[in-house]
Amino acid sequence: MNSKARITAIGAYVPHKRLLNEDLEKMVDTSDEWIMQRTGMKERRIAGDKEYASTLAFKAIENLIETYNKDLQDIDCIIVATTTPDYVFPSVACQIQDYFKIPHTGAFDLNATCAGFTYGLHLANSLITSGFHRKILVVATETLSKVTDYSDRTTCILFGDGAGAVLVERDEEHSSFIAAHIGTNGEGGMHLYRTSLAATMHEQTLNTNGKMVQNGREVYKWAARTVPLGVKELLHKSELQIHDVDWFVPHSANLRMIESICEKSGFLMEKTLTSVAYMGNTSSASIPLALHLGIEEQKVKNGDTILLYGFGGGLTHLGLIIKWDLSEKN
Ligand code: COA
């Protein structure tokens, strides 16, 4: 019998410190009104000096364990999506293995920017249905505040910190995974980057201050064009109609951009879950944070069909249609 993969548990964590629009008004030439109008963001969470991607990940995983009473000792792969790991290496995934003392597991980080969480899920599904793995922890964790240039008003208003974790387990009967659509536009890499070793891209000189650099307008145009096409493709592949989808969970990049994507795709905003207003853009963590909020607000329920869409720097994107079917809570 073919193995199926089921998402069985979720956990989340955001740091305590809040960065309000009013705080940003004191740091750069901006206003609460401008930020609300252009992004729909009210505040973001900011990691403490000694909090890193690993720290947030540990807390999100502990939240998962406590909520769903799951044992992690038999996990056989840890996949961490992050663009802001504590170190280039060792990976955050290896730090998680050590912290929870998981005895026999693979562990690696993946960098697919804001599409990292959907990439992690897609990989977990593939590793389980291949028959090689049984129980995989997928974590998305980001401390974007540590790579944000707080003198650049076009980017510093957007980003926040947080983490989400899900467990994907082998299941003989139920699969959570219905359809996937993946794509890359590497020629647009210049529009959103943070340098590491190289100081040029496409023969153009880069800003090497170690902070994120973004051409917001270009990224906006690309996402508003690309995601609705991806949604269409996902519905076609799954033979579902838009009204069969209970919840749309796009990457929480910017509420205005999400409204535009919804309008083009045919989704109602009431059927769309985001984490953008109080957490800002948390890159790969934004989708699990939105799902977690949706559960807390008693919107997301077992049996729901959910369309997740991650997109971001690279430029890269990956959409999934999943069936929500978690284990009982504690
Ligand atoms: N406060 C006040 N004014 C600001 C500002 C701020 N924080 N940031 C930019 N401006 C100004 C600009 O300087 C510009 O002024 P000018 O017309 O005098 O030159 C004006 O506002 C418009 O700038 P522009 O960059 O064209 O604004 P925009 O409407 O595109 O909004 C973003 C900027 C960043 C909010 C928007 O482009 C965006 O959200 N892009 C997508 C970003 C994203 O989601 N990235 C992650 C993807 S994973």
Of the listed 122, 281, 292, 317, which one is catalytic? 281
Q: Block means of pLDDT (10 residues each) for the chain, length 330 residues? A: 90 98 98 97 97 98 97 97 98 98 98 98 98 97 98 97 98 96 97 95 94 96 97 98 98 96 97 97 98 97 98 98 92
CATH of 179-323, one of 3.90.1150.170, 3.40.47.10, 3.40.50.720, 3.30.70.1710: 3.40.47.10
Nearest CA to ligand 1 atom 29: 38
Contact 53, 84 (CB under 8 A): yes
Which secondary-structure segment (H or E) carries 174?
A: none
DSSP-based helix, strand, coil % in the chain, nearest 5: 40, 25, 35
CA of 78 to the centre of ligand 1 (A): 37
Q: Which atom of ligand 1 is nearest to the CA of 114?
A: 48
Residue environment code for 288-325, b if the CB has 16+ CB neighbours within 10 A, otherwise e: bbbbbbbbeeeebeeeeebbbbbbbbbbbbbbbbbbbb
CB-based burial of residue 160 (10 Å sphere; 0-12 exposed, 13-18 middle, 19+ buried)? buried
Separation of CA 154 and ligand 1 centre (Å): 5
Report pLDDT for 117.
98
The pairing of strands 161-171 and 106-110 is unpaired
Domain residue extents for the chain:
5-170, 179-323
- Tell me the best of 41, 157, 220, 282 to mutate to test the pocket of ligand 1, counting ligand atoms within 8 Å of each CB and taking the most: 220
The pLDDT assigned to 329 comes to 87
Tell me, yes or no, if 251 is annotated catalytic. yes
Domain 5-170 shares a fold with domain 179-323 = yes
Nearest to 307 by CA among 184, 222, 180: 180
Omega prior to 315 cis, within 30 of 0: yes
198: helix, strand or coil = coil
CATH number given to 5-170: 3.40.47.10
Q: How far away, in angstroms, is 199 Cα from ligand 1 center?
A: 25
Q: Which of 21, 38, 111, 254 to mutate to test the pocket of ligand 1 (most atoms within 8 A of CB)?
A: 38
The pLDDT tens digits for 5-53 are 999 999 999 999 999 999 999 999 999 999 999 999 999 999 999 999 9
Report the alpha-carbon distance of residue 91 to residue 74 in Å, rounded.
20
User: Is 0.75 surpassed by the pTM of this model?
Assistant: yes
* Catalytic member of 251, 254, 262, 292: 251
What is the Cα–Cα distance from 48 to 99, expressed in whole angstroms?
A: 20
pLDDT of residue 1: 54
Q: Which of 77, 114, 156, 262 is catalytic?
A: 114
The question of whether 114 is a catalytic residue gets the answer: yes
